[in-house]
Chain A
Amino acid sequence: MDTPVVVSGLKKSFGATRALDGLNLEVRRGEVHGFLGPNGSGKSTTIRILLGLLRADGGTASLLDGDPWRDVTRLHRRLAYVPGDVVLWPGLTGGETIDLLGRLRGGLNASRRADLVERFQLDTTKRARAYSKGNRQKVALIAALASDVELLILDEPTAGLDPLMEAAFRECITEERGNGRTVLLSSHILTEVEALSDRVTIIREGRSVESGSLGELRHLMRVSLSAEIKGSPAGLQDMPGVHGARVEGSRLSCEVDPEHLNAVLQRLTTVGVTGLVCQPPTLEQLFLRHYREGESSGTRAAGRSPSGSEG
């Protein structure tokens, strides 16, 4: 019961296209889990299997200790879902749609609904056909967040929201975590996942390539370091764990493997430091590294670039 979502070795093909190819995903109770991947990497397919809309070809998926394909209504009463592409009934107003979706799920919290409408500044009397993409997104978000459910499944929920509304969304998710709800947050927006998630699963081409807390993942990553130094950093480039060192005048920048950071800093202090900026990797770098490695391996496999050297 401590892992609302357990997916292992999930496979799904659409005709000749392989959408999922052995995907693993584990979401723990009470966490915000970032589900990160480029467009078309299989995030929505995974979610739609978890919702029982698609049937997996192989592997297992368990949702709230049930079978997502068989236990549809029992499970769906305990979760709320915001699709990536929110399509509403053009003749229904936003307010009617929120109420309808909530009731189909088993009820809405009226005061939370009112509060959320206020916070997202939604005009609930407009017909859905008059709404912009961002407003349609708000309708789905309010309907999901105002439900008393254990699990929120959000598929790229902020696409179309303006920065103010995005901030309101982050605030809401932080509150939800405080209330003990579990959130599966699919996104390709790195800053959003970084700001909200406790743990992250990164997927690419239907396969999970990395999974863990942000701390654990950072551990795998090089630290970016830039320093103003007094003398010459002779030999620093050749130290173990130092990559891509560049010197421009008195400015040194390089990337350092975390386990060698101590030695590098000691060397720097012997040279003399007047300024130092040391940053953990952003999710962006983490993501780009996976992406680039995949690209270069793909290129090698295709035999287009025998050297295989990229950046």
Chain B
Amino acid sequence: MDSLTGTAALVRLALRRDRILLPACVAAFVIMVTFSASATVALYPTVESRIQAAASINSMTSLVALYGRIYDETSLGAVAMIKMGGLGAAMVAVLALFTIVRHTRSEEETGRLELLGAGVVGRRAPLTAALVVAVGTSLMLGALTAAALIAIELPVAGSIAFGLSWASIGVAFAAVASVTAQLTRSARTASGIAVATLGVVYVLRAIGDTSLGVAAWLTWLSPIGWGQQLRPFAGERWWVLALPLIFTAAVIALGYALAARRDLGAGLLPDRPGPAAAGARLASPLGLAWRLQRGVLLAWSAAFALLGAVFGGIAANVGDIFTSPESRAMIEALGGKAGIIDAFISAELGFLGIFAAAYGVQASLRLHSEEEALRAEPVLAAAVTRLRWAGSHIGIAVAGTAWLLVLSGLTAGAALAVQSNDAANVSRVLTGAVVQLPAACVITGVVVILFGLVPRAASWAWAVLIACVLAGELGALLELPSFVLDLSPFAHVPRVPAAEITAAPLLGLGAVAVTLVAAGLVGFRRRDVG
């Protein structure tokens, strides 16, 4: 077909550009799944210990909402893979959708596709090439994951089913991104819509799984739900694979249909004319940074407000789940029902701290992307010092992180206060959220120091954040030495409200964050720009 001419060349180009990125991501996933599985295997050697662990996870609404349900409490694989089946699958989806947008809409937005399009390249070739790369990556990731699980002696059928569940979710979101990439001119918006879609289907699954049968059908509307309903290691139901296959085929067909209806460079959603003159606030580097970042912050704000309310709402019910005499005794030991709620809400606030740090990384990396795109140059060529320009983006990153923590702390506290009829909960939960700020700012500091000293490596701040999260989540399982665990700033955050608030670690984290930012700014003032 003429419309596909040049696909092979474009695939080679994409693989050349991503020759480090894609293999590194695939390797990271396989390593993560291997470590996580083998650590769990060591942790629950007996059937009894597995049943106990699985039962407690299944009885916690919040954990079921976050991870999904364990469908066979005796199965080692099902217990070991519970975190990877839900959250891990979502990360696979993110990899697939960014791969598609990177090789379609980003190329189009920067005008590079035009250069290629003038060569011998068919109309459908760019989208097809991106799909080949993203689908190929998903399948490769699934195959290697299955092989890794088989290698650590988990059941073969379950391992293959798990690999397929990840691959199917990757492929499904490659398809979703092939549609969103057609909608707008902006690659950022295209990825944003695809990520939002992922968020919606994740929440659909969470509601379906925790509705105790009332709205279980919601799970079946979600590609993430399909991956779990394939039930790896828990009596595999292979027919479920038909759902992602049909979904993917239909959505890709829609993507091609939309692509055929629009011009190169254009979107389906029209650009509206904007103001012919700038408003009064667009008059400083800070005004510009705010204009560039406000949309992203608004989206994060909505997510944090919702997440806080969900966490707070769930926390109020945690104490009711434990009804057996043994667990009652445990609850008493922890300080009664209130103690359980506090322990739970502290753990959830820890998650919010990590998410807030992720916002900080995204917001402060704007420095790097603005410089890379040569958009820092016209600002710095005006009467703007480097410190003022960099400070405006860092300021928004830090203030935005603080705002998100306050917002989610308020919604979580309010939700808990309403259900427990105790208004004091608002300030206690809010405090627990705000104490996350210094740790999150340390990660922002990592971005700034990389940006100032080794700008090409700025995006590695994401790897630092992921390493800190993994250290916190898996470090205890892997029995890592405590000095390694202590490298993560999140390890030093006081577990408020379960524990007392202590000033020393907060001040220490704050000092580290300030030092990192200052060192980065000094480096940035001394180096070449662009």
Contacts and interface: CB of A to CB of B under 8 A. Distances in A.
Asked if A pairs with B, the answer is yes
Interface of A: 48, 51-55, 72-74, 76-77, 81, 83, 85, 87-93, 95-101, 103-106, 124-127, 129-130, 140
Interface in B510-530: 526-530
Contacts of A125: 273-276
B381 to A, nearest CB: 4
B275 A106 contact: no
13 contacts: A53-B381, A53-B528, A72-B380, A73-B383, A85-B374, A87-B374, A93-B276, A95-B277, A96-B279, A103-B278, A103-B284, A104-B283, A126-B273
A72 B386 CA distance: 9
A53 B185 contact: no
A170 to B, nearest CB: 23
A96 B375 contact: no
Interface string B268-296: 00010111111100111101100110000
B271 A129 contact: yes
B107 interface: no
Contacts of B384: 72-73, 76, 104
B277 A77 contact: no
A97 B274 CA distance: 12
A274 B530 CA distance: 60
B278 A95 contact: yes
A55 B381 CA distance: 14
Contacts of B530: 48, 53-54
Contacts of B277: 95-96, 99, 124
B383 A140 contact: no
Contacts of A101: 378, 382
B7 interface: no
Contact of B275 (A77, A95, A130): A95
B374 A83 contact: yes
B192 to A, nearest CB: 13
A100 B287 CA distance: 9
A106 B383 contact: yes
How many residues of B sit at the interface, in one of the four size bands?
35 or more
B111 to A, nearest CB: 8
A26 B275 CA distance: 41
B382 A55 contact: no
Contacts of B186: 90-91, 129
Contacts of B283: 99-100, 103-104
B377 interface: yes
A54 B380 CA distance: 11
Given A54-B529, A55-B528, A127-B274, A87 B373 contact: yes
Contact of B378 (A55, A83, A90, A96): A83
A93 B374 contact: no
A101 B273 CA distance: 20
Contacts of A83: 374, 377-378, 381
A53 B528 CA distance: 6
A96 B292 CA distance: 13
A53 B271 contact: no
A73 B375 contact: no
Contact of B375 (A77, A87, A95, A127): A87
A109 to B, nearest CB: 14
Contacts of A52: 380
B109 interface: yes
B379 interface: yes
B288 A100 contact: yes
A43 to B, nearest CB: 15
Contacts of A103: 278, 282-284
Nearest to B527: A55
B292 to A, nearest CB: 6
Nearest to B526: A55
A61 to B, nearest CB: 14
B374 A105 contact: no
Given A73-B384, A100-B282, A90 B379 contact: no
A54 B528 CA distance: 5
B385 interface: yes
A88 B378 CA distance: 9
A73 B385 contact: yes
A256 B384 CA distance: 53
Nearest to B273: A125
B127 to A, nearest CB: 20
B271 A130 contact: yes
Contacts of A106: 383
Nearest to B529: A53
Nearest to B267: A129
Contact of B276 (A55, A77, A95): A95
A15 to B, nearest CB: 12
Contacts of B528: 53-55
B375 A88 contact: yes
Contacts of B279: 96
A246 B149 CA distance: 84
Nearest to A12: B528
A64 B279 CA distance: 32
A72 B385 contact: yes
B481 to A, nearest CB: 40
Contacts of A129: 109, 185-186, 271
Contacts of A48: 377, 529-530
A53 B525 CA distance: 10
Nearest to B389: A104
A48 B380 CA distance: 11
Contacts of B378: 81, 83, 101, 140
A96 B530 CA distance: 24
A93 B271 CA distance: 11
A104 B375 contact: no
A77 B374 contact: no
B276 A124 contact: yes
B379 A104 contact: yes
B387 to A, nearest CB: 10
A124 B528 CA distance: 33
B282 A99 contact: yes
Given A76-B383, A90-B185, A129-B109, A53 B377 contact: yes
Given A83-B381, A89-B375, 9 more contacts: A54-B529, A55-B526, A81-B378, A83-B378, A91-B292, A92-B291, A100-B283, A100-B288, A104-B384
